[in-house]
């Protein structure tokens, strides 16, 4: 999430009651979680496993719960509970606003677009020209749809990220990170019935131009899907995945978090993707592997009883 204008790190430190060390005269341009940070961003870290990664990331300002060496040009904001400090900042700059109408007064809907009955279009949503939004679709606040997009019944665009801060030394183990990102759907995309596309935690979940979804597809937070992809029914894609242009995912494919599927790859039905995959290949199985090799292995597995009988002299 980008701030409306740069925010003094001294003001932020005062706001969250932090000790400030390092670049005390800097200004933050936005707030992000670790997977999406860029120069000028504010980020938080509260686990030793990620201290070095966070401090040495592209982020310029780090909310942290320990003193550490500060790289040049960066600043640390030291607090007892970085997650609570992060949440306070997000809630200040992106507060929850109830929408009391089916179509918000602040929504912008392009010429030639049809929004059918029982739809919800939230605050500051932008929908392009010549779109068709079928009945019972919900489009949450701040989401953006391009031109000639079609969304079928029962689909939800922009629901919160499934993303939690976990601490097992407190009564409530899982505390949700407030989602201040959006969903961006580019031109000529079709989304089937009963799909769910989560907004980014602090950045963008993106569906590229010309991509088509079947029914009952789920896309996790901050995932970026390229142009002209084909996603069949019951596909599940976790958060922070990059799916490059021209990829096909057939029915019931499951894709694990924070990996990349290369351009023009094809995943055959029921495959499980547990690691990044090269483009221009066809994959099958769990974990997904080259489909030719996977079929060959099956042939050999079926021959095991015959081979066993031969070894035993039967």
218 is catalytic: no
Q: Which two tokens stand for residue 221?
A: 């937070």
Torsion of the alpha carbons at 134, 136, 140 and 146, rounded to the nearest 10: 0
Helices (H), the chain: 9-16, 51-55, 82-93, 291-311
Q: Is 158 left (phi over 0), alpha (psi -120 to 50) or beta?
A: left
- CA dist., res. 62 & res. 96, Å (int): 25
Q: How many CB atoms lie within 10 A of CB 284?
A: 21
Instruction: Please identify which of the residues 47, 92, 221, 275 carries the catalytic annotation.
Output: 221
Query: Token pair for residue 159?
Result: 């629901």
Check if the beta carbon of residue 154 is closer than 8 Å to that of residue 137: yes
Interacting residues of 57 by C-beta distance below 8 A, sequence separation 6+ = 34, 37, 43
- Catalytic residue positions, numbered: 221
């Amino acid at each position: 999430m980008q701030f409306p204008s740069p925010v003094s790190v001294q003001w932020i430190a005062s706001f969250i009651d932090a000790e400030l060390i390092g670049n005390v005269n800097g200004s933050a341009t936005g707030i992000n979680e670790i997977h999406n940070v860029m120069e000028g961003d504010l980020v938080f870290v509260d686990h030793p496993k990620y201290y070095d990664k966070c401090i040495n990331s592209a982020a310029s300002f780090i909310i942290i719960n320990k003193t550490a060496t500060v790289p040049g040009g960066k600043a640390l904001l030291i607090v007892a509970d970085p997650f609570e400090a992060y949440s306070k900042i997000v809630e200040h700059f992106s507060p929850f606003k109830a929408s009391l109408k089916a179509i918000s007064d602040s929504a912008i809907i392009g010429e030639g677009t049809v929004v059918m009955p029982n739809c919800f279009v939230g605050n500051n949503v932008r929908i392009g020209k010549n779109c068709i939004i079928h009945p019972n679709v919900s489009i949450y606040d701040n989401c953006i749809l391009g031109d000639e997009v079609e969304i079928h019944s029962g689909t939800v665009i922009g629901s919160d990220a499934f993303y939690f801060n976990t601490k097992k030394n407190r009564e409530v183990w899982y505390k949700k990170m407030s989602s201040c990102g959006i969903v961006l759907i580019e031109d000529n995309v079709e989304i089937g019935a009963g799909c769910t596309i989560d907004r980014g935690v602090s950045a963008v979940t993106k569906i590229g131009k010309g991509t088509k979804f079947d029914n009952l597809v789920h896309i996790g937070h901050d995932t970026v899907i390229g142009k002209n992809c084909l996603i069949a029914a019951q596909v599940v894609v976790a958060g922070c995945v990059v799916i490059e242009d021209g990829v096909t995912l057939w029915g019931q494919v499951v894709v694990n978090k924070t990996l990349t599927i290369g351009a023009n790859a094809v995943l055959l039905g029921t495959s499980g993707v547990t690691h990044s995959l090269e483009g221009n290949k066809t994959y099958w199985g769990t974990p997904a592997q080259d489909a030719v090799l996977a079929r060959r292995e099956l042939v050999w597995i079926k021959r095991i009883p015959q081979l066993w009988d031969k070894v035993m002299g039967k």
